[in-house]
Structure 1
């Protein structure tokens, strides 16, 4: 199957955000595409806010079983969040807002991944902590399942 042209997939995403002792869960079911470019797998979709109806482009780039990047927003928009997850490492990245760029840092204690070719699909699970100015913003869990 030629994955360089983009294979349509169905995305199921669950996020859990724990901040100040409160946990919030979000679930998204969206159509998306998977593209293989070089040694990286790109999972792309539009995340739709049920309350506002606005959508935000999201790209998950899988370089290896313990190296994943997440981008929310477009390079042309006011806001773009880029996060980089490497198993058992802390990585500084950035969050572009209308008010300027804020450096943020991810600490990733766990990445689990299962990918398959036929039929195309898989699951990516990431646990991470987000820091801004060396202060813990929150604890996060992300579970993305995709199937062609």
Structure 2
């Protein structure tokens, strides 16, 4: 299947957040697109918050070396978060907010990416810790499943 033209996919995303004593779970089921550009695969979708009446563009770049880049928000909007996940590495990135840019770091103890092409389907599982100003903000797990 030619992924260079983009393939419509259905996305099921679960995120688990632990911050101190607080635990949160978020689940999203959204339509999206899977596109291959060069050696990378891009999963694109809109994260819809029906309660707030908003949507946020999300792009997940699956790199050939197994690393994953997650972008949430748009480059021309007032909020954009870019996170980089590299297995067992600490990576510095930035979070642009209406109040300025906040440097953040991810530490990724586990990252698994699996995909099949016939049929087009896959799963991305990431466990990571988030830090800002050398303070541990929380532990996160993300599981994104998709299929055409």
User: Residues 8-23 of structure 1 correspond to what in structure 2 (within 5 A)?
Assistant: 8-23=8-23
Partner of residue 89, structure 2: 89
- The 1-side partners of 2:71 and 2:62 are apart by 12
**What are the ranges of 5 or more consecutive residues in structure 1 without an aligned counterpart?**
none
Could you tell me which runs of 5 or more consecutive residues in structure 2 were left unpaired when the two chains were aligned: none
Q: How many angstroms apart in 2 are the aligned matches of 1:17 and 1:50?
A: 20
User: In the aligned structure 2, how far is the partner of 1:2 from the partner of 1:58?
Assistant: 22
Count of residues paired in the alignment: 148
CA shift at 1:2, angstroms?
1.5
Query: Is 1:98 the counterpart of 2:98 in the alignment?
Result: yes
Alignment TM-score, normalising by the size of structure 2: 0.98
Give me the CA root mean square deviation. Answer: 0.8
Matched, 1:127 2:123: no
Correspondence for 1:37: 37
- 1:7 corresponds in structure 2 to 7
**1:121/1:146 contact within 8 Å kept:** yes
Q: Which runs of 4+ in 1 moved over 2 A?
A: none
Q: CA deviation at 1:66?
A: 2.9
**Displacement of 1:133:** 0.3
